[in-house]
Structure 1
């Protein structure tokens, strides 16, 4: 097996995903064959990864896809063997080694974990073959000792796989000394022995000002500090995985084009909007429930959804259907991606109850199409070509259901040799199943030019690569990476 080190957090959203990506890129630059691994992830932002030995693809968390990019390797379903995709406040779809395993409520999922640990360890063994180093990302916090008996995401995995742990504390949210020292206090001795040190993340200003804080943590825990990481501005250029970031994307600077994105309750793959956010003349505003869609938006994008019918119903409850109708009367443009595409039609039917008890819902009626949910899930990477602008596209599909109707006679793209999507008669509304649509620089430039934005078309993938390089450089400066690699085993 490869040597390994694991980052666990004192809580959620402490920056583990970005830190793992940065460490992966730093290790790659040192000439190591490095891979990312996350035993269990919870996210509706998914990516398509290869299933070794099989045609087609499987689902992993978007964060592990980004970390694979940082490593310079193809994403594999073994990088994230268990993915939970929330469908309601109490239940999630469970994806195991890339494929849908079933549905589970939170309490039922706890009982399921004993079986899932086998899949986690199987993927762990397969992923490590041929690698020099595996950098593991935990989920949540090991301090959630009420979940410890059946844990597969943090210390439950670390102790079974004998992987040393670096604890990550987030100073930006406050209370970081108590978070690190408190974690040390409540961990059982078996788990505490796995921790080889800690690091502090998201420090604003002169990091030497925290020297006394490090001394205090060392006094309480005896753990060595691997460094204090400053606020990483380049992280804003990376694809987003965790929906908590949406709270910070509800406003922006006024620019040439405002793009409004309703923040659906089960929003999925909202990183589809990241390439638009990277354009200097485009302002992307995520609109939270209870707020109106801005009247000065030139474009409304309805993103993907893990529960199309449920999100369609809440779309109306928020009055966004009226806002969207007014937007259309003003001549505004609308794009729907995946679940958003399904919502734009006349009706969405779920005869098998795949998404829940509601079997049918009236759509928003902006496209003359209908969608029927089907048990077979489409999961694949795709090459495509835009029929609107005759430019190449690439992305991926993750969806249930098939969509058909008169507006499909005006498709959006040729996708894997088949027509995909639908366009309104006036050309101002279109929907597609292709995630990653806006990631194609030439397409994005021409599409935005059609909306009056001149000079668009930043090298988005290049921006991501440069951001990863910048983060790796920052980590080399502010962390003792030699010590972290020495601690790996």
Structure 2
């Protein structure tokens, strides 16, 4: 029978996702069938499953670490923010509704039923389910109706390991303080703790570990040193891309869109030693020395297009093109490059027709049908095979589509200008192909020195070994509880 343990954090970004990925690989290496699970995730950086569903990209990486195919049950509720107060709700891989924060709170009992259904179905075929929490259980104002942390742990009867981030400082207060604010039943559900991202001599924190254990009564499961290669793994947040090395001669400028989505295309590029990927924050101009301006995907294309213009980036981009620079638009970025975007049904807000950036002779019409699928394609110029996924609303047509630079089966995909310097397509993930990436960088004046997919596997192996040295895996597994309905 499957066992389950939940890794919660004292706050967001304390390293829960990375820990679950490393633990998944470590326990899989011990011969266990392991599956990751996160009841609720909030991200516009989605991954596509074999059956055409959507889950958080972090759970897709964790599935890879566990040597399993990603499936929708691994992340049954995915929130994709569309505004500051509302999000599209993906339930078990499919669009469920678009809800305000208030309406989402009322919908949680319905969603919890789906979460538990996915959890138990996932557990049927594995030995261990590694559950990741979201945010922090210390947000006790959100405890009523919670489905992401203690609410799920209580409903599924899963014990918890709490993780604190010592790099932020105050880790003793993080852990002890979390116990202090929890209700007794929730506090009792926590069985152990981890301290993550330690730098320096670990012996210097022996007393700190003892203090936390004495004050909480929880098992000290490990002091995890900083894992320097974390930046080489696919990023869940676009800000994580800025943590890698810079200094590569070939510069790619990426404007930070307000609702940037599915930016995993940047992971292989940012890992290239000879490439610098620079995220351009609002308030900064697009750099004049960029070789390529890459406009990424967007959850709200029209709103991000208007914000792009408000920043003056349209002027910077036009100057970049006049200087002979290259431009690539992916998904929403592809739509922005055209002459017009039409949304007759108001799918993204208000109905209307908006002028695009005018760098490609194409037009996009938004429609309710959402294309979500894994796709294999071929690059027309090089003949190289690429694999990726499509996840978008709308269809695009126009004269520049006659110069499609990809083929998905018998279907042409993408568009490009007559000189080939401005291109766009709907296919995400194509830069994970080493031969294609090498060819494309060469045509723009860069070079490739990386085996990307092999590198990701090697980092996951090193992460598993790292946790094997610093976490008491036997004790952690012993704390896991048998899954029962």
Q: CA deviation at 1:377?
A: 0.4
Matched, 1:379 2:372: yes
1:324-351 deviation per Cα after TM superposition (whole angstroms, max 9, x unaligned) = 0010010000001100100110111111
Equivalent position of 1:177 in the other structure = 172
Matched, 1:205 2:200: yes
Moved more, 202-211 or 337-346: 202-211
Q: CA deviation at 1:2?
A: 1.0
| Aligned counterparts, 1:285-434, within 5 A | 285-357=278-350, 359-434=352-427
Q: CA deviation at 1:157?
A: 0.5
SS at match of 2:367: coil
1:47 and 1:61 in contact (8 A); partners too: yes
Q: CA deviation at 1:98?
A: 0.5
What is the aligned residue count? 481
Q: CA deviation at 1:244?
A: 4.7
1:259 and 1:284 in contact (8 A); partners too: yes
Q: CA deviation at 1:277?
A: 0.8
Distance 1:141 1:301 in 2: 34
1:160-191 deviation per Cα after TM superposition (whole angstroms, max 9, x unaligned) = 10111000101111111111011000111111
Distance 1:312 1:19 in 2: 36
Equivalent position of 1:257 in the other structure = 250
Equivalent position of 1:44 in the other structure = 44
Equivalent position of 1:69 in the other structure = 64
Q: CA deviation at 1:129?
A: 1.0
Distance 2:344 2:202 in 1: 58
Equivalent position of 1:103 in the other structure = 98
Q: Which runs of 4+ in 1 moved over 4 A?
A: none
1:137 corresponds, among 132, 137, 141, to: 132
1:444 and 1:457 in contact (8 A); partners too: no
| Aligned counterparts, 1:156-305, within 5 A | 156-245=151-240, 248=242, 253-305=246-298
2:38 and 2:148 in contact (8 A); partners too: yes
Q: CA deviation at 1:243?
A: 4.1
Equivalent position of 1:28 in the other structure = 28
SS at match of 2:357: coil
Q: CA deviation at 1:234?
A: 1.8
Distance 1:474 1:14 in 2: 17
**For structure 1, which runs of at least 5 residues remain unmatched after alignment?**
52-56
1:375-403 deviation per Cα after TM superposition (whole angstroms, max 9, x unaligned) = 01000000000113211000001100100
Task: Give the TM-score taking structure 1 as reference length.
Answer: 0.97
Matched, 1:92 2:87: yes
SS at match of 1:153: coil
Distance 1:243 1:156 in 2: 29
Distance 1:217 1:244 in 2: 31
SS at match of 1:373: strand
Distance 1:243 1:284 in 2: 11
Moved more, 416-425 or 32-41: 416-425
Task: Give the TM-score taking structure 2 as reference length.
Answer: 0.97
